Structure 1
Amino acid sequence: MVSEKQLTLLYVESYVLLTTLVIAFLTVFGSWRRRSHSLKLKYSIWASYLLSTYLINYTMGLMKSVTFHDEFFAVWATFLIMFLGSPDCISAYSLEDSEHRKRHNLELFLQYFWLGWLIVVHSNKPKLMIPLYLIYFLSLRRTGDRAEALELASKSYGLVRNTKLVADFMEVESNKEGDGADPTCMKGYKYLVKGEKKAMVKVKAPHYYMQFETTDGHKVITIDMIWQCKGRLLSSAGDPDGRLKDICLSYALYRLLCRRFAKYSFSESSQLMTWNFVRYGLLSKGDDHERAFRVIELELGFLYDLFYTKYPVLFAKGLPLLRNFELILVISIGCWAVAPILINYQRREGPRLGALVTGVILVAILFMEIVQLFVVNFSDWAKVQWLCYYVKKPLWHNKCIEMIIRVICHKNLLKPWDRKLAQYSLLESFSHNPSVLLYNRCTSPYIDKPRSGLKLSAHVTLPMGVKKAIIHSLKTNGQRLTNGVVSLQRNGVNVLSWACELPTQTHVIMVWHIATSLCELNLSSQVIVTGEQVNEQRESEDFIVATKLSKYCAYLVAFAPRLLPDHPYITEFIFDHVVVEAREKLKGCEKSICQKMFNLCKDDRKKRISEKMLTLGKEVGDQEIIVKGAKLAKYLIETIKNNELRWRILAELWAEMMLFVAPSDDETAHAEHLAMGGEFVTHLWALLSHAGILKRDSAQDV
């Protein structure tokens, strides 16, 4: 018969195993969080993140409540606490975690207090207490790193303090003459990368800016120094496509972008050299759309790491050599602590799982440490640090060091972004209703009920043509942002400008989205005789750009209104009423939507609308968005007979509109979406920021 003691031990052992597996999952798969739109993975990581702390607290509570002593309890409790601070890839799950860091630190203090008590109570042998206390202090340092990471990411504390140096540095640099700046070789671009130290920083009156006092032995690394490096590794022969230099450029841009989150001004935004940096630097060649988005992807990866990981702390003082040494230290001390207990294990009476549980913990630690060893040392942060050392130390300009840096920098363990575009189609999803079984009165206190008509279409891989079209629009229009009017004028269809001059940008997006969707449906329903031409048109680059951007903008309206210009609730409110309109107008015609929509456009017999009235937009002035979209589609299809021309007009309009909606003052919304896989509009927001385009109303012709 199993005794009460054995049942208690089995209960504790089960929770120790469960906690170990949960934290191991969090450590290993946390690195994939920002790179994937998979809801299953995100919910799994979220559950692991929440459960890890609660499971540790509950398990330690069980250990404290028992009436007998067991050496395994002290070992397990020590390892569990060490696990809590181990994950480098996820220090926080949401931005609120950083702002609530004091509560987190208090919880850790209490856990360490009880851990110290458990070690004293359950291990009265010095041979066991010494290694356990060594692990105790080692885990203190790790959890200290997590607390410091939360502090760095706090927008109300650490971020504003650490970003002021960059803000002041750029404020001083922006006051200097930039006439000789050359964006093709980064001459004159003093974008800060690495190398600053507290001893080098002085505060000077009258503006009390933080400034550098550099010497020959201590210099900060700026972007122009990276491009002027004489080493072969960064030369045109060693780095022909500039990918190594661009890693440092992404890091410098990330530091500049942090000023937007800390609410510092972009002092250089009004300078011509800032626009030239993007126009004639990042986009100097015909195919540089790939390079521009590659640089921004990496930049946003650094930004994600600032808010949600421990990497900024690990690389704050150079390469994390101590972190690498901990792999050997943790395993060695762990074996030192566990070996005596396992040797005496056979002398104990009764069935025990203690050896199995301890073995699982040791294997989990070893596996987690090895995974993190590779991820940390091949991360983008490590690459930046190696390259800055290479630029700063001429002695490193030798084949051996260059080979090491090349291996590290050309090894990408994880992609920075999965390059996906979310899609939503109103005409396909307006009739969708949330499941009553999942969303009802019983579940409402715990789960927010989705609004009607919200059904995501399948994500699509970001097409190359979309990047080309947007960069072409940026080059063509310069710093002048419009929501499609300029592209309509350029293509000779200024008659449609009324659809870009509606009360809100939400109106504009939904009207053009409905029109684009109807043009797509009409193309699909054309007679079989012209099937080959239709298929060819559907595979054209303009068709892909127009349809994918149309559905992406509709997705932003439906699912991410904070990333758009209008007030989020106004956007939601308008969208909900458009869904109601669609249900009323299209009730019972799911398979003949196109014809039903065109029937809405029939002219009233008593009133014939002239072309002049259409030009002024008077015909549709008081009508619903769903009708306006139908009339716009009818005009596009009946007046512009050439399919190729029609899709080119729509593609250029949507590319222009994407740039128009990208500027935003809601930096928090962009940071939150980074934790959910990232949004394409965030990449455009960052790109325009570095081009000096911060707001639509301040954009100017160049």
Structure 2
Amino acid sequence: MAGFSPPVPQQDSNWEIRVAVMLSLLLQVLILFLGHVRKRSSSPPARFAIWSSYLLADWVADLALGLILNNMGNIGGNPSQSHSQRISGVKRGPATASADSSGSSPIIFAFWTPFLLVHLGGQDSLTALSIQDNDFWLRNLTGFFFQLISAGVVFFCSVDGNHVIPATLLIFVVGIIKYGERIYSLYSGSVDGVLAEIIGDPYPGPNYEKFMSLYSSKERAGLPVELVVHRPSRVSRPPAPAPVEHARGSMAPKMDPSVEVKAYKFFCIFRQLCFDVKPSYKERMLTKAYFLSSDMTNSPATAFKVIELELNFMYDMVHTKEPIAHSKAGCILRFVASSCLVSSLLIFFFHSDKGGISRVDVAITYALLLGGMALDAAALAMLLVSTWTLVLLGNSRWLGWLARAGRFLRPQQRRRRLAMVAEKLHVREMFHDFFFVRREPVDGPITREVVFDVLKKTARMETPSTYRGEGVLHKLHMEITGILTAATPAWSKKEAEKKFDLLVGSVKREFVESLLIWHIATDLCRHPYQATARTKAVENMRTVSQTLSEYMLYLLIKQPKILLASAGIGLKQYQDTCAEAKRFFETAAAWEPDHAGARRMLLGLSTAWAPSEVKGSRSKSVLFDGVILAKQLRDLGDDLMWEVVASVWGEMLTYAAGKCKGSTHVQQLSRGGELITIVWFLMAHMGFSDEYKKDEQDEEHVPRLIVHN
């Protein structure tokens, strides 16, 4: 086979090529094993490692390809040869020219070129760093064509001296498959790809023109005509649970589905939420019936597990090759790619003309071949124990036992693993001090139970998405006013109602103000109220209140987009409050108070006048508004106080979750996930939304024309 002439050879860079190729392979190994970490950890060091590996991987592979392309005039030849000699091949260097020959590059570099296409195809665990990267799939497709052309130029320039052409062509096939999978995964996770799959066939509705023509003809005939619209009757409670249908066909197994299968069914319904498309009314009623069922199996732990699995599927949809790899076409392509890798290794192993290739180049070639096979084997192992595989096996009557075995053998994913490593290395506090954030996994049963209980109660309200604390206050109205009246005999019923109105007013202010006020009040309520020991239930409420209070403040400062809060306004109020607190404690520095002493000093301060009457409106500080609220809450007694505080924080969390766009929530999946995202997804399954009620009776809108004789 005759190839075309390469361009005039440039200054060779053999060792640069070797280093770049091996570095490209190393980065692929890192991406494979670090790719799954980002959905389980929000640790900045881990995120930085993934981010840098992802960006460097493409850059290094492109660099290596560019170096080979720039140096291809030296591959297998000698720059002292004339241009005509290289064309005729009269004095072309041997195919096995030594790597150390002056001015020549080994012909084996041409065999390495398609490996760079394999590396550019990426790994199953990470295709898109952010959800926006998927929308650039067309740009990646264009880049693929140019990179394929560049690799093809190198291949055809080395045809005369390349004695492993079959092996090179096989690796080209692998590279095309891998790169094609990546591009299709990007398209599938883009807005266009997801909407093309979930929207379905267009529905023009009843034939208006035909209906009105019939109406006009009957009216002209002098017949009394009446238009009657049939709508489904409003139900007072969700229907009984029924098998959920997949968007493109039934997936209901003939046996009791596992948690993974249930989660996948719900994912097929609610994946459109990540692009702010609402599920249908029937689909919402099915999931609402499941999550609000009184069945003991639907415990908070089970509900959170289902939601966590759904979000895992959603992450894989927009950031990995998992959905493609588990399709029928994906399995076939994976088999073809693996077969080509094995065949290429055998061809090179039994190739007899390796004597002229340096040991370094032979070792690098084996590293590329064996490394590619090892990456394929590791990716296959991850696929076999993935949640997607458990779903496929769980839908089979005869292979269900494999799903149970896979679930048992599947490694447990712990979000604290990186934190434990950091603690062992004595750098955990350094990381925390640097980022001012303490990261904890959402696996506490107390937090799950409180949040789930708040959601179940709120789901039965008329307008669940509008409450951010007043719902629980109005529910406990009689109990609160009763305790206030009994605690202070001098108070009248009217004064107790006034105190109650002040509590309600604290949650009806601007959301950022309410959040800061309740955060300060929650911290001050931790000051010992009485000498008696708390019960376990009260201590649990206290722990949940503190956790949610700190979490909501973290969202306000670090993730203002999730709260739909202006970063400027929120930061201004936070800074003004911190400045006033700093000034207060600098004044009290002579007493050197600890945390308990600081709380005691704030609670002992007279607050007869409202802070706004003294300070004016220029300062946005709400420090002493929080002190006033804390005093009012402490009048309720320890038991009722923590019940109110925990429930108010639960409502604030659900309120904030419901006001944020679905696309913003999904972006958090690549950062280890957020509690508020889990709450948002759980709310969607419970039917939370004022907009849901608008189309409740319109999905089966059936017009009828009645002709009276």
Q: 2:30 aligns with which of 25, 29, 34?
A: 25
Question: Quick one: distance in 1 between partners of 2:47 and 2:27?
Answer: 14
Question: Quick one: distance in 1 between partners of 2:244 and 2:203?
Answer: 12
How many residues align? The count is 593
Q: 2:393 aligns with which of 373, 386, 389?
A: 386
TM superposition shift of 1:319? 7.2
Residue 340 of structure 2 corresponds to residue 329 of structure 1: yes
Deviating more after overlay: 10-19 vs 48-57:
10-19
Question: Quick one: distance in 2 between partners of 1:312 and 1:68?
Answer: 43
Question: Quick one: distance in 1 between partners of 2:417 and 2:361?
Answer: 46
| Structure whose CA Rg is larger | 2
AA matched with 2:469: G
Q: Partner of 1:162 in structure 2?
A: 197
Residue 259 of structure 2 corresponds to residue 252 of structure 1: no
Question: Quick one: distance in 2 between partners of 1:407 and 1:183?
Answer: 35
2:177 and 2:337 in contact (8 A); partners too: no
Q: 2:20 aligns with which of 15, 27, 41?
A: 15
1:61-80 → structure 2 map (5 Å cutoff)? 61-66=66-71, 67-69=73-75, 70-80=106-116
Question: Quick one: distance in 2 between partners of 1:298 and 1:166?
Answer: 28
Q: Partner of 1:514 in structure 2?
A: 520
TM superposition shift of 1:288? 0.8
Q: Partner of 2:130 in structure 1?
A: 94
Question: Quick one: distance in 1 between partners of 2:111 and 2:231?
Answer: 60
Question: Quick one: distance in 1 between partners of 2:279 and 2:183?
Answer: 29
TM superposition shift of 1:657? 2.3
Change beyond 3 A, Cα 1:260–1:538: closer
Q: Partner of 2:406 in structure 1?
A: 408
TM superposition shift of 1:353? 1.6
TM superposition shift of 1:416? 9.0
Q: Partner of 1:688 in structure 2?
A: 683
SS in 2 for 1:119: helix
Q: Partner of 1:471 in structure 2?
A: 452
TM superposition shift of 1:334? 3.2
AA matched with 2:657: A
Question: Quick one: distance in 2 between partners of 1:290 and 1:419?
Answer: 21
TM superposition shift of 1:547? 0.9
TM superposition shift of 1:100? 1.8
1:375 and 1:413 in contact (8 A); partners too: no
TM superposition shift of 1:328? 3.8
1:334 and 1:362 in contact (8 A); partners too: yes
Residue 310 of structure 2 corresponds to residue 299 of structure 1: yes
Change beyond 3 A, Cα 1:533–1:148: same
2:134 and 2:187 in contact (8 A); partners too: yes
Q: Partner of 1:634 in structure 2?
A: 631
1:127-526 → structure 2 map (5 Å cutoff)? 127-155=163-191, 157-165=192-200, 186-187=241-242, 189-192=243-246, 196=248, 220-222=249-251, 225-226=252-253, 229=254, 234-235=255-256, 244=258, 246-268=259-281, 275-280=288-293, 284-285=295-296, 288-317=299-328, 320-324=331-335, 326-337=337-348, 339-340=350-351, 343-348=352-357, 353-388=360-395, 390=396, 397-398=397-398, 401-413=399-411, 415=413, 455-459=436-440, 462-480=443-461, 481=464, 482-491=467-476, 492-493=479-480, 494-520=500-526, 522-523=527-528
SS in 1 for 2:533: helix
Q: CA RMSD in A?
A: 4.1
TM superposition shift of 1:466? 0.8
Change beyond 3 A, Cα 1:675–1:580: same
Change beyond 3 A, Cα 1:315–1:608: closer
2:267 and 2:313 in contact (8 A); partners too: yes
Question: Quick one: distance in 2 between partners of 1:302 and 1:660?
Answer: 25
1:564 and 1:662 in contact (8 A); partners too: yes
TM superposition shift of 1:146? 0.9
Question: Quick one: distance in 1 between partners of 2:237 and 2:608?
Answer: 60
TM superposition shift of 1:180? 13
TM superposition shift of 1:502? 4.1
1:598 and 1:630 in contact (8 A); partners too: no
TM-score, normalization by structure 1: 0.75
Residue 650 of structure 2 corresponds to residue 655 of structure 1: yes
Change beyond 3 A, Cα 1:319–1:270: closer
AA matched with 2:281: E
TM superposition shift of 1:415? 3.5
Change beyond 3 A, Cα 1:17–1:538: farther
Q: Partner of 1:668 in structure 2?
A: 663
AA matched with 1:515: A
SS in 1 for 2:673: coil
Q: Partner of 2:548 in structure 1?
A: 549
AA matched with 1:487: V
Question: Quick one: distance in 2 between partners of 1:420 and 1:694?
Answer: 37
SS in 1 for 2:671: coil
TM superposition shift of 1:21? 0.6
AA matched with 2:512: T
Residue 579 of structure 2 corresponds to residue 574 of structure 1: no
Q: Partner of 1:47 in structure 2?
A: 52
- Percent identity between the aligned chains? 20
Q: Partner of 2:86 in structure 1?
A: none
1:599-638 → structure 2 map (5 Å cutoff)? 599=601, 608=608, 624-637=621-634
Question: Quick one: distance in 1 between partners of 2:202 and 2:269?
Answer: 8
SS in 1 for 2:199: helix
- CA deviations over 1:230-252 (Å, ceiling 9, x no partner): xxxx34xxxxxx5x1x3222122
TM superposition shift of 1:298? 0.4
Q: Partner of 1:558 in structure 2?
A: 557
Structure 1 alignment gaps of length 5 or more: 197-219, 236-241, 391-396, 422-431, 439-453
Deviating more after overlay: 494-503 vs 456-465:
494-503
Q: Partner of 1:428 in structure 2?
A: none
Change beyond 3 A, Cα 1:37–1:458: closer
2:538 and 2:638 in contact (8 A); partners too: no
Change beyond 3 A, Cα 1:555–1:410: same
- CA deviations over 1:72-131 (Å, ceiling 9, x no partner): 212222112112214011110012211222222222221111111112223435751122
TM-score, normalization by structure 2: 0.74
- CA deviations over 1:530-583 (Å, ceiling 9, x no partner): 5x937x779921121111111111111111122225445543443343333333
Change beyond 3 A, Cα 1:539–1:367: farther
TM superposition shift of 1:297? 0.4
Change beyond 3 A, Cα 1:476–1:141: same
2:574 and 2:621 in contact (8 A); partners too: no
SS in 2 for 1:562: coil
AA matched with 2:199: K
1:537 and 1:543 in contact (8 A); partners too: no
Q: Which has the higher contact order (CA 8 A, sep 6+)?
A: 2
Question: Quick one: distance in 2 between partners of 1:107 and 1:339?
Answer: 35
- CA deviations over 1:445-466 (Å, ceiling 9, x no partner): xxxxxxxxx7213435532111
Change beyond 3 A, Cα 1:55–1:273: closer
Deviating more after overlay: 61-70 vs 324-333:
324-333
Change beyond 3 A, Cα 1:272–1:255: closer
